[in-house]
Amino acid sequence: MIFKLLLLELRSIRSDGRLLAMVALAMATLFLSTWIGAESQRMAAEGRAAAIETSRQQWEAIDGLSAHGVGHYGSYVYKPSSPLSTLDAGVMPFTGKVVRVEAHVQSPPSHSDAGSWSSLIRLGAFDAGMILSLLIPLLLAFSAFSSVSRDRETGLLRVLVAQGVPLRSILWGKSLAYWCLSLLLVGALIASHVVLDQISGGPLSSDIKTRLLLFGGSHSLYLLIVVLLSVWVSARVSDSRSALMILTIAWLMTSVVLPRVTAEFSSQLFPLKSQITFEDDMAEDRSKGLDGHNPRDERRNEVREQVLKEYGVEKVSDLPVNLGGILMQKDEEYGNLVWDEHFGRRHETVRKQIGVVQAVSFLDPFLAARGLSMAFAGTDQFHDAQFQRQAENYRRDLIRVLNDLDATAGTRRDNGRWNREKIDYATISDFEFESQSVGFALGHRWPEAASLLIWVLFSAALIQRGTDKIPIVGSSR
């Protein structure tokens, strides 16, 4: 019965020129966004390759600097785009793309797109994630708002029920018909992405394929929720106009107002220190010691005594190594503790803020869909934090290698002075980003996944069990 009703509704949709035009428009928009996104990604990849090349040339041209001097000269790490960022750019426009890697300092990423754009950047991105989670639901709501109420107003609903068709089957038939339209859009989007990837020669790894499927799956589930709720509202409310207003307000609240209010609320609930306080606190800990009682000079003296004892000599000029390099590395390790403490606290606060949003996603499925969309595209805050962590690990390794070279690459002269050897810095490799598996995304976004599933069950239950109070006859008749 449901299948027959589904076919009937699809036929009715096929004869509705407005709906077909909307579907065509949505599909064209999705294709266009994917194509432009792929083009932008290609240019970004070229830009990144050129930047890496320039930076590498500068690195290899270093001459006349000590190993620690090279640590100050530093390097740059360039953030790669996620292969699925063409589908959902996520937080990428707001996060820095370049990390300065140098001794003594953990630098946050800089040069974000948002840093050089006008306020246009606040008006959303033209990508499939935005279209599927923001626009298609609105179009579906505007298509489905009169799906039942119109039949009631024309008397068709009364006829169908009188003929023994269960009301819930009618609602399921209509819901599934609109969901089929959504699946058509999601399927076409994924197919177009795969085709574009094939054309550009990029092989799809199994992880990307899984991510792509989950991306499409999460959006399909969200659209199912939208469709079920829209059809239920259309059935429950006495007239089409009221249904339209309820759906418009609901969409507005869930997709536009609540995400912003939740983000504001979370930042007020778990406030971040201002940049100036953050930097001041780090500088203070860096110079005074983590517990505030261990001045830097005392630590340096301690290390010197340890090294002298270790090598069994009494004077620094008798050491077979360069004490400067060892001191720098010890200082670096102490600095790393400070960075871990402060950046760790900051990341923890951000994680709590996101936790608030994840909790609210149980009230607002849009937040769940958006979080999952970004996560599966590899463009959410957690993926960005992972890039920052890898860049920082690279910095620590690089500076350790340089400080070790500073300590050991040389010989002690007879006059006790340290004679540095010439070092070929070109042998030190560049940063390589290790992408995260889909398990990483799911591990951080399970609340959103759970929220989406609960919403699917809830809205399905509304259609299945909540038909008792649905009026069959319109009030005007």
Partner 1 sequence: MISLSLSIVRFECQRLVRSPMRLAAMGVFLLCGMYAISSGAHHVSEWEKTLKELSSRDASLRSEALGWYAEQVSGPADRDWIDITQPRYADRYASAHAVMEPEPLAALAIGLSDIRSSWAVVSATRGAQPFRTSDPATLGNAEKLLSGNFDLAFVLAYLMPLLLLVLMFDVGSMERDLGIMRTVRTQTASPRAWWLLRVSLPILVVATLVGVLLVLGGVWTGAIESSFSLWKTFSLASMGYVLLWGILFSAVLSAGSGSSTAALWMVGLWIGFCVLVPAAVRQVVGSQLPNQYASELTTVLRAERYEILLGEVEEYRDSFYSSRPKISPPTETPDRGTASNMDRMMKEAAFLSKVEEVSAEISEREIQREAAVASFGWINPAYVFQNSLCVLAGTESVNFRNHRNGILLAVRDRMESLIGLQWKMSPIEKADFESLFIHENWLKHGQSPQKDALLKGASLALVAAFFASILSRSKRTRERKTGIV
Q: Give the ranges where 312-437 is alpha helix by DSSP (H).
A: 323-360, 365-377, 381-408
Nearer to partner 1, 143 or 169 (CB): 143
Q: Are 249 and 357 a contacting pair, CB within 8 Å?
A: no
In angstroms, the CA 380 to CA 367 distance is 13
Instruction: Find the shortest distance in angstroms from Cβ 465 to partner 1.
Output: 26
In angstroms, the CA 408 to CA 66 distance is 12
Local structure of 158: helix, strand or coil: helix
Angle between helices 17-60 and 136-144 (to 10 degrees): 170
C-alpha distances out from residue 408 to 302, 395, 412, Å:
20, 20, 10
Nearer to partner 1, 111 or 168 (CB): 111
In angstroms, the CA 90 to CA 105 distance is 28
Nearer to partner 1, 310 or 348 (CB): 348
Nearer to partner 1, 140 or 160 (CB): 140
Q: Around Cβ 200, how many Cβ atoms within 10 Å?
A: 12
Nearer to partner 1, 169 or 251 (CB): 251
Instruction: Find the shortest distance in angstroms from Cβ 225 to partner 1.
Output: 20
Instruction: Find the shortest distance in angstroms from Cβ 332 to partner 1.
Output: 19
**Taking the chain, what is the end-to-end CA distance rounded to the nearest angstrom?**
27
Instruction: Find the shortest distance in angstroms from Cβ 2 to partner 1.
Output: 26
Instruction: Find the shortest distance in angstroms from Cβ 269 to partner 1.
Output: 12
Reported as type and span, the H/E element at residue 410 is strand 410-412
Instruction: Find the shortest distance in angstroms from Cβ 113 to partner 1.
Output: 5
In angstroms, the CA 46 to CA 228 distance is 44
Query: At residue 401, what are phi and psi to the nearest 5 degrees?
Result: -60, -45
Residue 5 exposed, middle or buried by CB count within 10 Å (0-12, 13-18, 19+): buried
Q: For the chain, how many residues are written?
A: 477
Q: Which of 90, 73, 82 is nearest to 48 (CA)?
A: 82
In angstroms, the CA 477 to CA 475 distance is 5
Nearer to partner 1, 33 or 192 (CB): 33
Instruction: Find the shortest distance in angstroms from Cβ 148 to partner 1.
Output: 14
Structure token digits, residue 148: 């039942």
Nearer to partner 1, 281 or 397 (CB): 281
Nearer to partner 1, 230 or 262 (CB): 262
Nearer to partner 1, 347 or 412 (CB): 347
Structure token digits, residue 470: 């649905």
Structure token digits, residue 457: 């069950």
Q: Are 193 and 200 a contacting pair, CB within 8 Å?
A: no
Instruction: Find the shortest distance in angstroms from Cβ 252 to partner 1.
Output: 6
Instruction: Find the shortest distance in angstroms from Cβ 314 to partner 1.
Output: 27
Instruction: Find the shortest distance in angstroms from Cβ 22 to partner 1.
Output: 8
Q: Are 372 and 449 a contacting pair, CB within 8 Å?
A: yes
Local structure of 165: helix, strand or coil: coil
Nearer to partner 1, 267 or 408 (CB): 267
